Amino acid sequence: MRALIQRVAEARVEVEGATLGEIGPGLLVLVCAMQGDSEAEADRLAGRIARLRIFRDDAGRMNLSVRDIGGAALVVSQFTLAADTSRGNRPGLSAAAAPEDGRRLYDHFAGRLQSEGLPVATGRFGADMKVSLLNDGPVTIWMDTAD
């Protein structure tokens, strides 16, 4: 699985003008299931993200996790993280998991983050979403379970 994680002061996701998910301080997690991924990759990625120390401590050092600060996670599916841009001008997306597998792993991942003790808000899998965020730092981290 792949994830692009952004430390945010706030974030929200809308579909057709209705807010589906909204958080204050925490993480916006754009996530993509890849072909061959299973619940094991989703579990590993969720655990790593919950423990990722990218929030400032009292000394101003990035030494705290989202759990440590009492933050939340907004999880948004984004199959374009599977984009292959090595040829031509149109990204290839065939490395992404099939939609039914992607949905299952997206839901599993969000549930696993919640079981890590995080309040979790989500978008809608496969929908045309509008994501708004106030990036804090900015801090943006790329994670891939294949690495």
* CB-side neighbour CA atoms (13 Å) of 13: 21
* 6 counts as catalytic: no
Total count of residues recorded for the chain: 147
* 125 counts as catalytic: no
Q: Which of 6, 35, 55, 78 is catalytic?
A: 78
Strands (E), 33-71: 55-56, 62-64
Task: Report the relative pairing of strands 18-23 and 62-64 from DSSP bridges.
Answer: unpaired
Q: Which of 79, 109, 122, 145 is catalytic?
A: 79
The answer to whether 91 and 83 have CB atoms below 8 angstroms apart is: yes
**39-51 vs 99-115: helix crossing angle, rounded to 10:** 40
Q: Which of 6, 35, 55, 80 is catalytic?
A: 80
* 79 counts as catalytic: yes
Query: Looking at the annotation, which residues are catalytic?
Result: 78-80
